[in-house]
Amino acid sequence: MEKRENKLIQVYKSKKPYSDYILFGILLIILPILVDFGLIKYSYLTTIASILIFSIVALGLNLLVGYSGLISLGTAGFMGLGTYLAAYITKDLNLPFEISLLISVLVPMVIGILTGLVSLRIEGYYLAIATLAISEILRKGFVEFEVVTNGFSGKQASYPTLLGFLELGRNGSFIMIVVFLIGIMILTYNLINSYTGRALSTMRGSEAAAQAMGINIFKYRLLAFAVAVAYSALGGVLYMHFVKYTYPNAWTLTLSLNILAVIIIGGIRSIPGTILGAFVVFGVPDLILKRLPIIGDIDGAAYIFNGVLIIIIILFYPLGLIHIRNDLKKIKFKLRKRKESYSEQS
Amino acid sequence: MNNHDFILKIEDLSIAFGGLKAVDSLSFEIKEKEIFGLIGPNGAGKTTVFNCITQFYKPDRGKVFFKNKDGQVEDLVGKRPHEIISKGLVRTFQNIELIRELSVIDNVLVGSHIEFKASLLSQLFRLPKARREERDLRKKAEEVLKYMGLYHIKDQLVAGQPYGILKKIELARTLMLNPKLIILDEPAAGLNDTETIELMEIVKEIRERLNTTILLVEHDMKFVNNLCDRICAISFGKLLAIGSPEEIQANEEVQIAYLGKGDE
């Protein structure tokens, strides 16, 4: 049995998943067309767009938590910083979207690297609290730094204009989000399957082994933080140009915890798992729960749903919901085996 | 004796944890292509010596001279732990330090981490340089695995492999860089008799094929006596004796350290 399980793992690891990712992207791009034909409600599209954006953010956190073994509760703060920078640069400074994208990702990244420096001294719960503090400082900044952020009333932006002339509408922006997500999925896959990915995993698994093999812990911790924060900020920029509105209280600890829930529910160290998790955490409450009788009327049904789900998943699928597919494969295998033995008997 | 005859020379090495002197003015040297054993009763400070050599611990006093890949002698004390491997010195651990979630071949590839040069951008986009590098080193890892008789499990996860296999994987990981000196911390611990004999052959063969020197800590005296050219016995961090296996076996102080004094 052991050998067969290993064989299964071997099979789905050996093939590159690019085509799966791209197929997934194409399916997503069809959605706005269905909306135009009135087959799907417009509000669904908005929910799905935010799921995709949070998927990007969660992929970054998965790299940090799943691969490097670090923790961050500052995700929301960095995502918020991305939204504000994007809004300020495109609206107030009137600079093109591309420049805004670059700056709005790079600035949080630098702050992320500084956070990484903190991680060299503290770990575990303490690191979680330190990153939470950084996130709260950022959020306080969104409130107080009114000249740029407009304080509590929040800030607005519009759909992006690419290359200075290509004005994207709602559908165009949705497609842009999909393209970014698929791109990020591919890049993340490449990264975790490169020597950098192995170094991150080694750092998580055994710091002693990492050092003995010449892996500079300092460098790779900073790298992990830089990538995670860059993904968060990118998510922020995309959010700003799709939702078109940002305000301080959108970027609280709740969001950071939800994104952590995404990777725990979906699958730690799994790219498809992260996407699945985002659909479960951000999608199910909006798309399904709210539309159910009675349950839909309960305030905070989403919290209850996520809480119960996390408990169930930690009990039965500690590595995430995505690992159901291994069980399904096993069941299929057993059924086939049983069929074979029946036919042998008869 | 020629000054450059040694590959590793430890001089007056001392380290204390609080009041406990784990290693106390220890000196010895290892010649090139030697299999050198470090023995001593439990808590004698053997692993601490290893950790001082590989700079996981900073010794309070003393020097660790190592003849690196370019044939130059340098003091390792003060170097950072991750810098040591590039000098040509690789180690294994007493409690196997492998990454359970990675496949066998990926674990071995971690051993040649410092040989990977592709930039982050090149890795992100899988540019030709990163691809070529990955392919070449993967080929090398496959060769090492074939040599160790692990090729058939190369794509399996490390988690769930039997203990003897794990020890072999860790040994395979040290071979990726053709090191000058391999430090083995209790390589035979937990192995059965057949596996121990097999390991003995492998270690000897590695020395011949890679022209490398081996320093090992081991409790299994049969293993040490059969394998090592010279043995250094320590107790409570202090040197007891250095010599051939026969000399060590006959040494009275070593016998006392292991078995205690006879009845008065």
Rounded to whole angstroms, how far apart are CA atoms B13 and A346?
Answer: 76
Q: Do A206 and B97 touch (CB under 8 A)?
A: yes
Q: Is residue B28 part of a domain?
A: yes
**Looking at the predicted structure, is the pLDDT value of residue A11 above 50?**
no
Q: Is residue B34 part of a domain?
A: yes
Rounded to whole angstroms, how far apart are CA atoms A229 and A77?
Answer: 10
Q: Over the stretch B89-115, which tens digit does the pLDDT of each residue have?
A: 999 998 899 999 999 999 999 999 999
> In which residue are the tokens 């798992």 written?
A273
How many CB pairs below 8 A link A and B? Answer: 104
Q: Which residues in A lie closer than 8 A to residue B155 (C-beta atoms)?
A: 9-10, 13-14
Mean pLDDT value of segment A271-294: 87
Q: What CATH number has the domain bearing residue A286?
A: 1.10.3470
Structural domain boundaries enclosing A119: 2-345
Rounded to whole angstroms, how far apart are CA atoms A76 and A257?
Answer: 9
Structural domain count of chain B: 1
**Looking at the predicted structure, is the pLDDT value of residue A6 above 80?**
no
pLDDT at A43: 85
Interface test with A, best of B87, B124, B173 (most A CBs within 10 A): B124
Which comes out higher in pLDDT, residue A292 or B146?
A: B146
Strands A166-167 and B73-75: unpaired
pLDDT at A12: 44
Helix segments in A68-169, DSSP class H: 75-87, 97-119, 124-144, 146-149
What are the two backbone dihedrals, phi and then psi, of residue B212, each rounded to the nearest 5 degrees?
-115, 165
pLDDT at A293: 78
Rounded to whole angstroms, how far apart are CA atoms A299 and A130?
Answer: 31
Q: Which residues in B lie closer than 8 A to residue A2 (C-beta atoms)?
A: 160
Mean pLDDT value of segment A196-203: 95
Structural domain boundaries enclosing B81: 6-97+174-259
Using only the alpha carbons of chain B, give its radius of gyration: 19
pLDDT at B64: 94
Rounded to whole angstroms, how far apart are CA atoms B106 and B149?
Answer: 16
pTM of the model: 0.90
B96 touches chain A (CB under 8 A): no
Q: pLDDT tier at A177 (50, 70, 90 boundaries)? A: very high
Rounded to whole angstroms, how far apart are CA atoms B55 and B58?
Answer: 6
Angle between helical axes of A124-144 and A253-266 (0-180°, round to 10): 140
Helix (H) or strand (E) holding A30: helix A18-36
Q: Is residue B113 part of a domain?
A: no
Q: Is residue B255 part of a domain?
A: yes
pLDDT at B262: 63
Q: Which residues in A lie closer than 8 A to residue B109 (C-beta atoms)?
A: 195, 198
CA B188 distance to own-chain centroid: 12
B125 to chain A: nearest residue by CA?
A: A187
**Looking at the predicted structure, is the pLDDT value of residue A2 above 50?**
no
Q: What CATH number has the domain bearing residue B32?
A: 3.40.50.300
**Using beta carbons and an 8 Å cutoff, which residues of A are at the interface with B?**
2, 6, 9-10, 13-14, 187, 190-191, 194-196, 198-199, 201-202, 204-206, 208-217, 223, 269
Q: Do B125 and A187 touch (CB under 8 A)?
A: yes
Q: pLDDT tier at B141 (50, 70, 90 boundaries)? A: very high
Which comes out higher in pLDDT, residue A4 or A252?
A: A252
Instruction: Name the residue facing B85 among A2, A213, A217 (closest C-beta).
Output: A213
pLDDT at A81: 95
Terminal Cα distance for chain B, rounded: 42
Q: Which residues in A lie closer than 8 A to residue B90 (C-beta atoms)?
A: 212-213
Rounded to whole angstroms, how far apart are CA atoms A209 and B91?
Answer: 9
Contacts of A265 (CB under 8 A, 6+ apart): A277, A280, A281, A306, A309, A310, A313, A320, A321
**Looking at the predicted structure, is the pLDDT value of residue A189 above 50?**
yes
Instruction: Name the residue facing A198 among B54, B83, B109 (closest C-beta).
Output: B109
Rounded to whole angstroms, how far apart are CA atoms B117 and A226?
Answer: 20
Mean pLDDT value of segment B7-34: 92
Structural domain count of chain A: 1
Q: Over the stretch B200-223, which tens digit does the pLDDT of each residue have?
A: 999 999 999 999 999 999 888 889
Per the prediction, chain B carries an average pLDDT of 91
